[in-house]
Amino acid sequence: MGPTEHALAAAERQLLESGVPIQAVIHMLMEHVVSLASYIEPPGVRAEIVKSLVADIAPGVRNAVEKRQTTKGGIIVPRNAA
């Protein structure tokens, strides 16, 4: 990650630590993505980028969960469901 990503991650952690619900943080980030996507021209390119973003959400979440639940040695450690 570069400096911008580290700054965003730090801001997200601060929000969560200060008690902002994770759903509110996700909602804020999604609104920001939507706002940024609205600047992409032409509209056909914008539509393709939005489709790509939507298609990347589920696999991205799955990969993040797997990374969080995998030891450095590659062993998947199941977490208790909340």
Residue 81 maps to a domain: no
Residues 6+ apart with CB under 8 A from 16: 22, 25
Residue 78 placed within a domain: no
**Over 70: is that where the pLDDT of 82 sits?**
no
Is 75 within a domain?
no
Answer yes or no: is 31 within a domain.
yes
Residue 33 lies in a domain: yes
Q: Would residue 50 count as lying in a domain?
A: yes
pLDDT tens digits for 2-58? 999 999 999 999 999 999 999 999 999 999 999 999 999 999 999 999 999 999 999
Q: Is residue 8 part of a domain?
A: no
- Give the residue numbers spanning the domain of 31: 22-68
DSSP string for residues in 16-79: HHTT--HHHHHHHHHHHHHHHHTT-SSHHHHHHHHHHHHHHHHHHHHHHHHHHTB-TTS-B-PP
Q: How far apart are CA 20 and CA 15, in angstroms?
A: 5
Query: Does 3 map to a domain?
Result: no
Instruction: Specify the number of domains making up the chain.
Output: 1
